[in-house]
Structure 1
Amino acid sequence: MSSLAGGSGLIAQIGPGEGSQATETRSYGKGLPPPDQMVTVERRGEVCLIGINRPQVHNRVDPEAFSALARAYAAYDADDGLRAAVLFGHGESFSRGIDVDAFAEVLRTGKARVPDADGIDPLGRRAFLSKPLVAVVHGDTWNMGHELFLVADIRIASAETRFAQDENTHGRFPGGGSTVRFPREAGWGNAMRYMLTGDHWGAEEARRMGLVQGIAPDPRAALELGLDVAGKIARCGPLGIRATLASARMAVRQSEGTAYSHLGEQYRALYRTEDFLEGRKAEAEGREPVYRGR
């Protein structure tokens, strides 16, 4: 079954296993997550799983779901016990993008507000996560769905994933950040090839363009791969992980010169941490380090 939320239920299967140290997990047994819960949040040890849960409309994102996603991102970023997050979609698709009618109604009634006002913008246009995000996609990953995917630091796709950035064929344009990120990640010609024509593409083409770092044979295997990658991140020193992201993002969003100028300061700061000492001690003792984030 291609549906991640189908059958015995995704959350029941990706919740903490025997012996897990997870401090908070909701379980939905053999059923699906409640339909009124537009975004699910699960904890698996030091990894947070965030799921878009509107499968009845192919996980199209309306203002309420966008706001819930922003709050989930903010809660993950603020929780020192979480070191990596995995974003996925319940149902047959990751997301077919924006719920146009729902957003249009908000604008028409004059009740518009910044949907991420009480969280972190999932499209990364204003505030940004300070910790890693792994996106795992399957099925239709279109428009805003593709833009949510592009924001992630590491991206995994199921082999049958169908990507699209086809707003121009509908009289709109890609307004969620892909006009910035898509050319940067895939190259100008590759990005314009798909944004200007509205043609769809598959997982192998996404990998050719550098958009995907791993492809799995089916949606469940893709999620397992994403969890494995997130777990490896979570076992690293969290202070170093944050510094790595901060430095790389500084180079992209400001300049390489600015990023270079901060390297010494960032490195010296880590030398004074308990985690640095633990890393050295664990290496000398031939054991796995236990990082505390301080």
Structure 2
Amino acid sequence: MHRLFRTILVFSALSLSIGSAFAQSVDTTQPHSSEVTLVDIPVSPSHKITVERRGKIVLIGINRPNIQNRLDPEAYLALAKAYYDYDHDPSLRAAVLFGYGDNFSQGVDVEGFKAVASSGGVTLGDGLIDPLGKKMPLLTKPLIVAVHGDTWNLAHELFLVADIRVAANNTDFGQDENTHGRFPGGGSTVRFVREAGWGNAMRYILTGDHWTAREAYRMGTVQEIPDPQSALDKAIELANKIAANGPLGIKASLVTAHRVIDPVQAEALSGLDTQRAALYKSEDFQEGRKAEAEGRTPVYQGK
């Protein structure tokens, strides 16, 4: 779906220990533009997260199409680094997040996150911004997310963090963790409710049913629903319009708007990791994983 970008800068693999810092080396074999001012961008053969500068905007790509762009801790932290570098580069004014391949993302790489989730989640140190917006610091610049195909669970929660949302008309949204013995621990129980209203959000969170881009548009979580071939282009068009405006005014607009919602949601978001950690240790979680692997309907006991 997406054309390959000529100039791609890629984040390096993090050490498997979650709090470790990014490597500070650059692979000079990778092509890159001399205009890119993001400093010390590491590179990795894994290419899980890509970053491309286009004038005053930056494109950030989830690049794990072989596993439907599911995010493991390494990819999640690389995304956090991409957000931080964007937010701290004064020459960049808008960012677009997208996914390579047939789907935006099927969400979390459960096996990859299992160890860190049971211990309270990924640790975000200095130089990182939480892509789920659950912890300070938050992004202070505009973020547009363009999704297509499967956009499930964690991926939908990354989508809800955006200031403007574009969903191709083939998007299949899902927030179905409850059908797997888990729960939506990335913020949708707060943001989905806020954006779509209680009944609309609970209709999908509690049943695990999926929904379409048109339904998302009806609920108000999506602003544009173009064809799949033009979804990313639409997001880039919006980003360039934002980038042409006065950056101080844009920043002030976001700051004042956040004063309305941040105090209300901060406490609710802060407890999500603890709740998710408890569920990852439950018998129901193990049953959900076992049933999924065996291709059968899970039998939950509430334990």
| TM-score for both structures, normalised by structure 1 | 0.75
Q: Structure 1 residues 140 and 84, CA, compared in 2 at 3 Å: closer, same or farther?
A: same
Partner Cα distance (1:117, 1:158) in 2: 35
Deviation at 1:139, TM superposition (A): 0.5
Q: Which runs of 5+ in 2 are unaligned?
A: 10-32, 38-42, 265-303
1:46 aligns with 2:56: yes
* Letter aligned with residue 101 of structure 1: E
Aligned counterpart in structure 1 of residue 224 of structure 2, from 214, 233, 247: 214
Q: 2:249 aligns with which of 240, 248, 251?
A: 240
Cα distance in 2 between the residues matched to 1:61 and 1:214: 25
Query: Residues 88 and 189 from structure 1, CA distance in 2 versus in 1: closer, same or farther, beyond 3 angstroms?
Result: same
In the TM superposition, 1:73-222 aligns within 5 A as 73-106=83-116, 113-115=122-124, 118-126=127-135, 127-218=137-228, 220-222=229-231
**In 2 relative to 1, CA 160–77 (structure 1 residues): closer, same or farther, beyond 3 Å?**
same
Residue number in structure 2 paired with 1:261 = none
Q: Once the two structures are superposed, what CA deviation does each residue of 1:123-175 show, in whole Å capped at 9, x if it has no partner? A: 00012100000000001000000000000000001110000000000000000
Partner of 2:240: 231
Within 2, Cα distance between the matches of 1:116 and 1:152?
Answer: 22
Which of structure 1's runs of 4+ aligned residues deviate more than 3 A? 12-15, 105-108, 110-113, 115-118
Determine which structure has greater relative contact order: mean sequence separation of CA pairs < 8 Å that are 6+ residues apart, divided by chain length.
Answer: 2
- With over 3 angstroms needed to count, the CA separation of the structure-2 counterparts of 1:227 and 1:188, relative to structure 1, is same
**How many corresponding residue pairs?**
236
Alpha-carbon separation, structure 2, partners of 1:190 and 1:121: 26
Q: Does 1:10 align with 2:4?
A: yes
Q: Secondary structure at the match of 2:58?
A: strand
Output the CA distance in 2 between the equivalents of 1:180 and 1:250: 16
Contact 1:51 1:88 in 2 (8 A): yes
| Secondary structure at the counterpart of residue 258 of structure 2 | helix
RMSD (Å) for aligned C-alpha atoms: 2.4
Contact in 2 for aligned 1:150/1:181 (Cα 8 Å): yes
> 1:112: Cα distance to partner?
6.5
- 2:35 corresponds to 1:23: yes
**Deviation readout 1:92-138 (Å, 9 max, x if unpaired):** 10010011001113457x79651465400000001210000000000
Secondary structure of the equivalent of 1:43? strand
Q: Take 1:157 and 1:22, find their aligned partners in 2: how far apart are those partners?
A: 32
Sequence identity (%)? 57
- Change beyond 3 A, Cα 1:92–1:13: farther
Residues 46-76 of structure 1 deviation map (CA, whole Å, 9 limit, x = unaligned): 0010001111110001000000000000000
Matched residue, 1:71: 81
Please tell me whether the aligned partners of residues 8 and 50 of structure 2 are also in contact (alpha carbons under 8 angstroms). Answer: no
**In 2, are the aligned partners of 1:71 and 1:116 still within 8 Å (CA)?**
no
Larger Rg: 1
Check 1:103–1:216 CA distance in 2 against 1; reply closer, same or farther (3 A cut). same
Is the contact between residue 86 and residue 226 of structure 1 (CA under 8 Å) also seen in structure 2? Answer: yes
Structure 2 counterpart of 1:222, one-letter code: A
| Alpha carbons of structure 1 residues 185 and 36: separation in structure 2 relative to 1, 3 Å | same
Shift of 1:35: 6.2
- Unmatched 5+ residue regions in structure 1? 16-20, 26-32, 256-294
1:57 maps onto 2:67 in alignment: yes
Which residue in 1 is equivalent to 2:40?
Answer: none
Q: Give the secondary structure class of the aligned counterpart of 1:95.
A: coil
- Report if aligned partners of 1:143, 1:165 keep a CA contact under 8 Å in 2: yes
Distance in 2, matches of 1:171 and 1:45, equals: 45
Distance 1:11 1:93 in 2: 17
> What residue is the counterpart of 1:291 in the other structure?
none
- Distance in 2 separating the partners of 1:139 and 1:131: 26
